[in-house]
């Protein structure tokens, strides 16, 4: 099966009139909500970063280390939950991942040292990686080929909504109640797990439980055997480049907007910077959703190149235009649009590159191994910002957007491929 997947040309598109079953909409709703609340919980740290640094006396590199802990452990969580999705089912793995990141967020409220903060952010990371691995393959297997890209785009757009929600809640809560109350609120997504387990069915394309005589499904080492080895390594390298650019840019973006011009920031403060954050996320929402339509129309690879090269052009102008608040405000949606949109490719592209027996494992490994390697981004940019200012630090991400544009060209075009 794997050999056929590698050699056969893409299957023609499914008829546009193919009805979308109710189960597909339920899968998209569950994964999209889970991803939205995942973003809410993860991004609370970015908005609380200034207050946390002040309370614990953290340097930029130490604050970046905590963000990197989330990314490092998200890799472990993503790989583990990818394997779990192949073994216990997509829906069970999705519900469990949401419970994990909710608990980790709630525990952050009680942290009393750098060490306990690190542990709490690591737990959040495990759930973060797990939610994407289980949720993306659930959606990919539930939707027909002709509309899979746009379905993944809508799922991915939940991140922008969650990010914006975190900005609004942080601006309301931190000045009045402090940062710890913010993380108590982050426990709320745990309630979603009960809804998912009750309402969402497993997709028909998901592998069923194998008889004991058969080899276990979801074996990680199978990704590194012929004929999948080169595809696994290329997909991981592509994910690494794009994720490095993303986490470097968007971990430090709230601090960039809030920090004084002397530190290379815009000087808006936490509350005043909220409209700018919302402008970025409005662009991100449009980027995620329009990417899906473009990917289904012109192909996965051309759509990726359009977005990442657009980000490489816009980010330096945004970073070095910081002294003009109006310029920054009008560029903010473009940063969100181009900086986020290409992430909608992973849910469809990775699903289309690998057979069902190992699809969850492949989704989990390629994306989350890339995320682990990209964990160097917050630390690196934090250290550069301390030495040279935030504008220069943010501009370093341009190189990684360009690298992503090059690497995606080495992966097969999978537009219209039916899943097996």
Residues 6 or more apart from 203 whose CB is under 8 A from it? 23, 27, 90, 138, 141, 142
Q: How large is the average pLDDT for residues 232-261?
A: 86
Task: Give the chain's mean pLDDT.
Answer: 82
User: First and final CA of the chain: distance in angstroms?
Assistant: 8
303, part of any domain: yes
Are 306 and 287 a contacting pair, CB within 8 Å? Answer: no
pLDDT band at 264 (very low <50, low <70, confident <90, very high): low
pLDDT in the model for residue 403: 95
**Cβ neighbourhood burial of 2 (10 Å; 0-12, 13-18, 19+):** middle
pLDDT band at 10 (very low <50, low <70, confident <90, very high): very low
The larger pLDDT score, comparing residue 52 to residue 302, is at 302
Query: Is 350's pLDDT higher than 90?
Result: no
180, part of any domain: yes
10, part of any domain: no
pLDDT in the model for residue 18: 62
250, part of any domain: yes
Structure tokens at 289: 């959703």
SS (H, E, C) 99-141: HHHHHHHHHHCCCCCHHHHHHHHHHHHHHHHHHHHHHHHHHHH
125, part of any domain: yes
Structure tokens at 347: 């849910």
Are 302 and 310 a contacting pair, CB within 8 Å? Answer: no
Lowest mean pLDDT among 93-97, 190-194, 259-263, 362-366: 259-263
Number of CB atoms found within 10 A of residue 219's CB: 14
4, part of any domain: no
User: Domain range spanning residue 332?
Assistant: 21-202+224-410
pLDDT band at 263 (very low <50, low <70, confident <90, very high): low
Q: How large is the average pLDDT for residues 348-368?
A: 84
Which tens digit of pLDDT belongs to each residue from 69-78? Answer: 877 888 888 8
Handedness of CA 410, 307, 67, 318 (dihedral sign): positive
154, part of any domain: yes
Are 34 and 94 a contacting pair, CB within 8 Å? Answer: yes
Residues 6 or more apart from 380 whose CB is under 8 A from it? 64, 248, 396
322, part of any domain: yes
- Domains identified in the chain, total number: 1
Q: Which residue's entry shows tokens 């235009």?
A: 321
84 phi and psi angles, rounded to 5 deg: -60, -40
pTM: 0.75
pLDDT band at 41 (very low <50, low <70, confident <90, very high): confident
Tell me the CATH number at 270.
1.20.1250.20
Which tens digit of pLDDT belongs to each residue from 367-417? Answer: 888 877 887 888 888 888 778 778 888 888 999 999 999 999 999 888 888
């Amino acid at each position: 099966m794997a050999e056929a997947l590698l050699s056969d040309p893409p299957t023609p598109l499914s008829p546009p009139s193919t009805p979308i079953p109710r189960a597909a909409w339920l899968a998209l709703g569950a994964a999209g909500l889970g991803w939205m609340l995942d973003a809410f919980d993860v991004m609370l740290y970015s908005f609380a970063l200034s207050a946390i640094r002040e309370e614990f006396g953290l340097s930029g590199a130490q604050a970046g280390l905590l963000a990197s802990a989330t990314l490092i452990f998200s890799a472990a969580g993503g790989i583990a939950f990818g394997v779990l999705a192949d073994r216990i089912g997509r829906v069970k793995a999705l519900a469990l991942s949401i419970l994990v990141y909710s608990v980790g967020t709630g525990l952050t409220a009680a942290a009393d040292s750098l060490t306990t903060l690190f542990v709490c952010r690591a737990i959040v990371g495990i759930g973060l990686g797990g939610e994407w691995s289980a949720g993306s393959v659930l959606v990919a297997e539930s939707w027909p080929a002709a509309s899979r890209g746009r379905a993944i785009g809508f799922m991915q757009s939940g991140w922008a909504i969650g990010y914006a929600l975190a900005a609004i809640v942080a601006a309301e809560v931190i000045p009045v109640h402090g940062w710890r109350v913010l993380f108590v609120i982050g426990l709320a997504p745990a309630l979603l797990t009960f809804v998912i387990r009750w309402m969402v069915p497993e997709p028909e394309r998901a592998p069923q439980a194998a008889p004991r005589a058969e080899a276990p499904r979801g074996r990680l080492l199978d990704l590194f055997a012929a004929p999948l080895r080169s595809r696994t390594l290329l997909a991981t390298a592509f994910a690494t480049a794009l994720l490095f650019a993303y986490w470097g840019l968007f971990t430090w973006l709230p601090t960039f907007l809030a920090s004084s011009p002397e530190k290379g920031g815009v000087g808006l403060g936490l509350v005043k910077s909220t409209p700018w954050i919302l402008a970025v996320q409005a662009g991100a929402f449009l980027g995620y959703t329009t990417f899906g339509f473009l990917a289904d129309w012109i192909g996965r690879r051309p759509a990726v190149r359009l977005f990442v090269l657009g980000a490489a052009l816009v980010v330096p102008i945004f970073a070095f235009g910081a002294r003009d608040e109006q310029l920054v405000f009008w560029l903010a949606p473009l940063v969100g649009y181009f900086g986020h949109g290409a992430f909608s490719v992973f849910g469809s592209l990775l699903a289309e590159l690998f057979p069902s027996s190992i699809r969850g494992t492949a989704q989990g490994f390629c994306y989350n191994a890339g995320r682990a390697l990209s964990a160097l981004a917050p630390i690196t940019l934090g250290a550069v910002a301390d030495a040279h200012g935030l504008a220069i630090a943010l501009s370093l991400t341009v190189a990684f957007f360009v690298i992503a544009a090059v690497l995606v060209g080495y992966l097969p075009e999978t537009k219209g491929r039916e899943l097996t």
